């Protein structure tokens, strides 16, 4: 995987707010083959490890934050 690219702080705040509320949301992720994948559920944790930031979904999946395209209707390109 490529080097981690930090995300916008305001977008990070949205992710943390969703995790705090355990709100059911839609998460759109960029796959390694450049396709998009949509996940329906909630964020249970946001953390840093080995120089990158991740979120953990309700089903235990880890997603690197720089792979996110949208969270709860907020698109990363708007930040």
Q: What is the pLDDT of residues 22-77, one digit of tens each?
A: 989 999 999 989 899 999 999 999 999 999 999 999 999 999 999 999 999 999 99
pTM: 0.91
Distance CA 27, CA 39 (A): 5
1 versus 25: the higher-pLDDT residue is: 25
Confidence of residue 2 (pLDDT cuts 50, 70, 90): confident
Distance CA 63, CA 46 (A): 10
């Amino acid at each position: 995987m490529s080097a981690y690219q930090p995300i916008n702080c305001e977008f990070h705040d949205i992710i943390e707010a969703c995790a705090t509320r355990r709100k059911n949301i839609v998460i759109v992720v960029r796959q390694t083959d450049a396709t998009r994948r949509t996940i329906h559920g909630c964020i249970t944790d946001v953390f840093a490890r080995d120089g990158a930031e991740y979120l953990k979904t309700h089903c235990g999946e880890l997603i690197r934050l720089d792979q996110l395209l949208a969270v709860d209707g907020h698109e990363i390109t708007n930040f």
